[in-house]
Amino acid sequence: MFRAADLLLLVVIFSSMFTGVAFPEMGRYFQPYPLYCMMFLLFLSFLSLDLATVGRTLRNHISMAIWLTFFKLLLLPIFIFLILKVACPRFATAGLLLSGVSTGVVAPFIATLVRSNGALVLLMVVVTSLLVPFTLPLLVEVFVGRALEISLLAMIELLSLIVFVPILAVEMLRKWLPGVLGLLLGRRYPISLVMFAVINLGVFSKYAGYFRQQPGILLSTSVVALALGGTLFILGIVSALRAEPEDRVASAIVAGNMNNVLIIVFSSRFFGPLEATVAAMYMIPFFLILLPLRVCEQFWGKSFQALS
């Protein structure tokens, strides 16, 4: 059920997190690059898909795409915020930010590791990235009572850069250099591992001083992040119970694999270190979600075979 590649991925993720905190001087060199690594990861994820496939997915899954967009950007963050407001009010804002941000550009990579509707995941990355500049500030203003002094245009430009530049780059490569595309596709997994390591080294080295000053915060935020990740995974599955197994898995990925790196940057500017730390520690469930996804893959094995 679990594969050697899964173990290697988790080893790379957690060792790079530890290295970033323990040896921040080493990670300092990678701090400017997480954004570009995210773009390259989406580029790699898009290698096996094309715009025509995404277009067919939109036409064939239009009702589900609308439902998942509403669920991901509005219903889910409101539910998470209200639950945390009662159970753990200190972390309610962090929960709202993480659950309300767009589906992460790494989500399509996760989708390639399991049996899922990868085109639907990629579609949700694009749609939620286009809409989150409008929905997230509104949620923060309504539920947190804080108006964010952020340029809507700047946020749209940033997310468009992250999403559309990689997509256009793949289409250009497919048209003019298909041989290079095939070469990259064959080496996609090891290249992705390097990108994950660079992201973690850059992110965690930046906050290493804060982690060392308040080591207890690592434990509490890790527990909250794990609980949040488990909740988002379950709610993602529940939101698509009537769908095909591949769409259920895609829904769990859409809900659980959000753009937490954007929230790290967002929180450090507009909120406090607590929200940024929760977003950083969400790296743990972000990749551990692969384990319950494998369980679902095994549990729904016959259904997957029937669809093949």
What kind and span of H or E run contains 196? Answer: helix 188-206
Predicted local confidence at residue 192, as pLDDT: 96
pLDDT of residue 1: 66
Question: Quick one: pLDDT at residue 306?
Answer: 52
pLDDT in tens, 27-58: 999 999 999 999 999 999 888 877 788 888 88
Task: State whether CATH 1.20.1530.20 applies to domain 4-299.
Answer: yes
Give me the residues of the chain with pLDDT under 50, please: none
CB half-sphere exposure, 253, CA atoms < 13 A: 34
What predicted TM-score, i.e. pTM, was given to this entire model? 0.93
- Res 305: pLDDT: 54
Q: What is the pLDDT of residues 259-302, one digit of tens each?
A: 999 999 888 888 888 999 999 999 999 999 999 999 998 888 76
Residues with Cβ < 8 Å from 9, sequence gap 6 or more?
A: 113, 193, 196, 287, 290
pLDDT at 302: 61
Find the helix or strand (DSSP H, E) in which 219 lies: helix 215-238
152-175: buried (b, 16+ CB within 10 Å) or exposed (e) per residue?
A: eeebeebbeebbeebbeebeebbe
Within 8 A by CB and 6+ apart from 65, the residues are 57, 58, 120, 123, 124, 127
Note the pLDDT of residue 207: 86
Helix (H) or strand (E) holding 173: helix 152-176
pLDDT at residue 189, rounded to an integer: 95
